Amino acid sequence: MIRVRLPAHLRTLAHLEGEVQLQVVGQATQRAVLDALETRYPVLRGTIRDHVTHQRRAFVRFFACEQDLSHELPDTPLPHEVVTGTEPFLIVGAMAGG
Amino acid sequence: MTGVRVLVGTRKGAFVLTSDAKRQRWDVSGPHFAGWEIYHVTGSPADSDRLYAAQSSGWFGQVIQRSDDGGQTWAPVGNQFSYDGVPGTHQWYDGTPHPWEFARVWHLEPLLTDPDTVYAGVEDAALFRSIDGGQTWQELSGLRDHDSGSSWQPGAGGMCLHTILQHPTDPGRILVAISSAGVFRTDDTGKTWRPTNRGLRSEQIPDPVAEVGHCVHRLAMHPSRPNVLFMQKHWDVMRSDDAGESWQEISGDLPTDFGFPIAVHAHEPDTVYVVPIKSDSEHYPPEGKLRVYRSRTGGHEWEPLTKGLPQHDCYVNVLRDAMAVDSLDSCGIYFGTTGGQVYASADAGDSWAPIVRDLPSVLSVEVQTLP
């Protein structure tokens, strides 16, 4: 079970509290996790990545295991600790502004 | 009981202000969608319980919210705004070609006769329409496909389609305004468009009387006289008596003819309101005095309305979508400021009082007159 932690604005939008736990079929990658997340919460479509190109929105970041995975290719396997649920996959609104 | 519902979009959420017909005591609810920019909240003319809100964020993009109970509860609907076909390019600030990119919805305009049909004016400038209550959106690409489209340039606030006017009886006729391309009109429900900017003069562009390229800030129309249009341009207040075929300046004795919003009295088609702003580089009222100006002659002659408005040390702005009128017997006028005040007048502008003073910066104000 993969644990996903969302920023507060997206938790509010999706009417959820705490982490999301997702069962991902096949290899656990960013794409697979986001596909599963958007399937469960269609309201999140377009808020993390583009509807059509699936390109990550510029001010959204993906962190896990104290690493920035934002620039990894979407089909790169996620770290073992994320796959096993030891560590969460963090979707973060980038720090911006003053 | 008859009353009004004022829908306020701010930089950090939406607020709903309600009152009975006296418009003296107000109930304030919100913030709805706290922390998000709400460029516009509006209601359906065909069903006052149906509301739409344009919610956006630089981080998480566009969300459209819909309420079916007058703003008590909301639910997100469709947020996919995909340009039709290969989008192509428009001009960037430096004159180079720039790909058309969706940034946000600026303005929502429900059809006069159907709460499920709603137009959306977006940045980069385009017009979208939903016929299923906001679940899905299709571009009316004839506008952007106009021969001039590749030459459109953004204004300082982005290249936004911010005004959508529907003819009250001819559903085929729609006017839109784009900063900074100008006014465009369709007579076939959006299939084809042509610019209607003759008479506009803008010294800030290479050809001051060009067919397109004018920074139109806002249009207003009285439904009883749809061929008469009023415009607040970047500089100049303008009027057309032929549905936009030609424009004449009516700035008259205004202290400055720069500004953003313009509105028409609900029962007097020649009574017009503007909020003069000092200049395009100093976005606040002249002399630190917040004054609404009213013309009861369709322009040229203007009177300052000051009673109840701050007359010293006031340096707020009133944005283009932040002024509206109700249709009660004594017409109510409302506007919001970048300082977070929403002012109301229940006597057509003769006197004013703040409904709220300390909201986030106000982006839009709409009013519903409730049965």
Q: Percent of chain B beyond pLDDT 90?
A: 96
CA distance A18 to chain B (A): 19
The answer to whether B79 contacts chain A (CB < 8 Å) is yes
pLDDT of residue B117: 98
ipTM of the complex model: 0.95
Residue A97 has pLDDT above 70, yes or no: no
* CA dihedral (B135, B36, B122, B333) positive or negative: positive
Name the nearest CA neighbour of B131 among B142, B115, B143, B144.
B115
**Are A13 and B63 inside 8 Å of each other by CB?**
yes
B84: contact with A, CB 8 A cutoff: no
Q: Collect all residues of chain A within an 8 Å Cβ-Cβ radius of residue B34.
A: 12
Write the single-letter amino acid at A16.
L
- Enter the tokens of residue B353: 């009082």
**Residue where the block lists tokens 């784009």:** B178
Q: What is the pLDDT of residue B166?
A: 98
Distance from CA of A89 to the nearest CA of B (A): 18
Q: Which of A43, A52, A93 sits opposite B59 (nearest CB)?
A: A93
Question: In terms of Cα–Cα distance, which of B279, B280, B310 is closest to B292?
Answer: B310
> Looking at CA atoms only, how far is residue A33 from chain B in angstroms?
18
pLDDT for the residue B124: 96
Q: Does residue A73 sit within a domain?
A: yes
In this predicted model, what pLDDT tens digit does every residue of B314-351 receive, in sequence order?
A: 999 999 999 999 999 999 999 999 999 999 999 999 99
pLDDT, position B2: 83
Phi-psi region of B156 (alpha: psi -120 to 50; beta: other; left: phi over 0): alpha
Q: Please say whether the beta carbons of B218 and B177 come within 8 A.
A: yes
**B82 vs A12, A48, A52: nearest CB:** A52
- Token digits for B115? 């709460």
Average pLDDT over residues B160-178: 97
Residues of A within an 8 Å Cβ radius of B: 7, 9-10, 12-13, 43, 45-48, 51-52, 57, 59-60, 93-94, 96
pLDDT of residue A98: 53
B138 interface with A at CB cutoff 8 Å:
no
- In angstroms, the separation between the Cα of residue B56 and the nearest Cα of chain A is 10
Nearest CA in chain A to B76: A43
Residue A98 covered by a domain = no
Question: Which residues have a Cβ under 8 Å from the Cβ of B150 and sit 6 or more positions away?
Answer: B88, B89, B90, B91, B97
Tally of domains in chain A: 1
Mean per-residue pLDDT of chain B? 97
User: Looking at chain B, how many residues does it have?
Assistant: 371
Res B246 pLDDT > 60: yes
Q: Are the beta carbons of A9 and B59 separated by less than 8 Å?
A: yes
Domain of residue A23, residue span: 2-93
Contacts of B58 in chain A (CB under 8 A): 59, 96
Nearest residue to B322 (alpha-carbon basis) of B234, B259, B236: B259
Q: Band the pLDDT of B155: cuts 50, 70, 90.
A: confident
Give CA–CA dist A24/B83, Å, rounded.
32
Residues from chain A contacting residue B61 (CB–CB below 8 Å): 46-47, 57
Give the homologous superfamily in CATH for domain B3-370. YVTN repeat-like/Quinoprotein amine dehydrogenase (2.130.10.10)
Q: Tell me, what CATH number does A39's domain have?
A: 3.10.20.30
Mean pLDDT value of segment B91-117: 96
pLDDT above 70: residue B1: no
Going B252 to B238 to B150 to B61, the CA torsion angle's sign is: positive
Rounded to two decimals, the pTM is 0.97
Residues with Cβ < 8 Å from B122, sequence gap 6 or more?
B81, B102, B103, B104, B105, B106, B128, B160, B161
Q: What is the pLDDT of residue A25?
A: 87
Among the partner residues A43, A46, A93, nearest to B80 by beta-carbon distance: A46
What are the residue ranges spanned by the domains of chain B? 3-370
- Yes or no, beta carbons of A93 and B35 under 8 Å apart: no
